[in-house]
Amino acid sequence: MRWVNSPYNLDDFFQSFLVFFMLVTGEAWDTVFQSAVNAVGIDMQPQSWANPWSSLAMFGFALVTNILISNLFVGVVIDNFKETKEEQSQFRNLSQNQKDWVDMQLFMQRRDLKVKFFEPENRIRSYCYRIAQSPYFQPFIIFVILFNTIILGANSASMSQQVSIAFTILNDVFLGFFHIEALIKICAWGMVYFKDKWNRYHSPQDLSLYLLLI
Amino acid sequence: MVRSLVRSIPSLFPLLTVAGLILATLAVVGINLFAGKFYYCDIGTSSSLNITQIITKQVYNNRSIVFINFTLRIALKLE
């Protein structure tokens, strides 16, 4: 009679990563599911079907890992197979110039047009614009994001209360940083802000931080 | 076929990176949801079991009700 941990726990980053890699292969997923559904709380004995909503989270994890990622690999191999087949069938008859032309067309298809920004006339907006266009702004934001990622990854079950509180505060600070960044960029660029891919992928991270706040 | 497999090896490396990033994100979410919640009271084998032991296990960690595995629950019903 001992107080033991499940071998498939999510206590720290590496353990969690390992469990999710296991979910990619589909190995022992039911054990993880059961642990998650039976989990009551920290330092509490699990109870049968105590937390049914966590099954939704686990199904989401399984959907992304087992189905999406493993199919991604198969997809890439099949794509390469198709490409090889096409090259063997069509490209054999083309001359070198024609091949270059086809390559150029494909290259141009893959390129995106870059959005160019103009300095606004409003005094405050032009100030924001100068901040946003400065060469230190983007590296600084990337540094903040990386630091935030490290803090999120350093989260674990065995850390003390003080460290946990410090992490929570740090997460709030990061969220504030991202809001200020978004505000500055919106002021500087206007509605073009939402056309930039970087900003569109940046907001999910803000969303995940909101979830942590709850 | 084999040639296409060999050719797809270099393009799998960016894919590995992407997969790793997705897994890392999910791992962070997983930590925040389930860190420290998967501990349980290991009761041991059912052969060395009697009702008093079960009752002491029931008050394990000051919780009145514990989740006991299937064989143990049947044993409890039979007593």
One digit per residue, pLDDT tens: chain A, 214 residues? 667 788 898 888 999 999 999 999 988 888 999 899 988 887 777 778 888 899 998 999 988 888 888 898 889 888 888 888 877 776 667 788 888 898 899 888 888 777 677 788 888 888 888 888 888 988 998 898 888 888 888 888 788 888 888 888 888 888 888 888 888 888 888 777 777 777 766 666 666 666 666 5
Q: Residues near A61 by Cβ (< 8 Å), separated by ≥ 6?
A: A20, A23, B26, B30
Q: Are A38 and A53 in contact (CB under 8 A)?
A: no
Q: Are B28 and B42 in contact (CB under 8 A)?
A: no
What does the CA dihedral A73, A77, A80, A82 come to, rounded to 10 degrees?
Answer: -120
CA B22 to chain A, closest CA, distance in angstroms equals 8
Mutate to test the interface with B, among A44, A49, A74, A76 (most CBs of B within 10 A): A44
Q: Taking the domains of chain A in order of start, what are their residue ranges?
A: 1-111, 123-213
- Please state whether beta strands A2-5 and B39-42 pair in parallel, antiparallel, or not at all (unpaired): antiparallel
A2 membership: H or E segment, kind and range: strand A2-5
CATH of the domain spanning A123-213: 1.20.120.350
A212 reaches B (C-beta below 8 A): yes
Q: Are A148 and B25 in contact (CB under 8 A)?
A: no
What does the CA dihedral A114, A118, A120, A121 come to, rounded to 10 degrees?
Answer: -170
Cβ contacts (< 8 Å) between A46 and chain B: which residues?
A: 37-38, 40, 67
Q: Are A39 and B34 in contact (CB under 8 A)?
A: yes
Residue by residue, DSSP assigns A108-133 as: HHH--PPP-----SSHHHHHHHHHHH
pLDDT value at B57 more than 50: no
Instruction: Specify the pLDDT at position B47.
Output: 54
- Please state the ipTM of this predicted complex: 0.70
Instruction: Specify the pLDDT at position B62.
Output: 39
pLDDT in tens, A172-194: 888 888 888 888 888 888 777 77
- Residues in A 165-194 with any Cβ partner in B closer than 8 A: none
The C-alpha atoms of residue A173 and residue A64 are separated, in whole angstroms, by: 29
Instruction: Specify the pLDDT at position B48.
Output: 54
The count of CB pairs under 8 A between chains A and B is 165
- Residues in B 42-71 with any Cβ partner in A closer than 8 A: 42-44, 53, 56-57, 60-61, 63, 65-67
Instruction: Specify the pLDDT at position B58.
Output: 43
Instruction: Specify the pLDDT at position B59.
Output: 43
The C-alpha atoms of residue B61 and residue A45 are separated, in whole angstroms, by: 7
CA-closest candidate to residue A177, choices A211, A205, A157: A205
Q: Of B5, B36, B37, which has the smallest distance from its Cβ to A77's Cβ?
A: B5
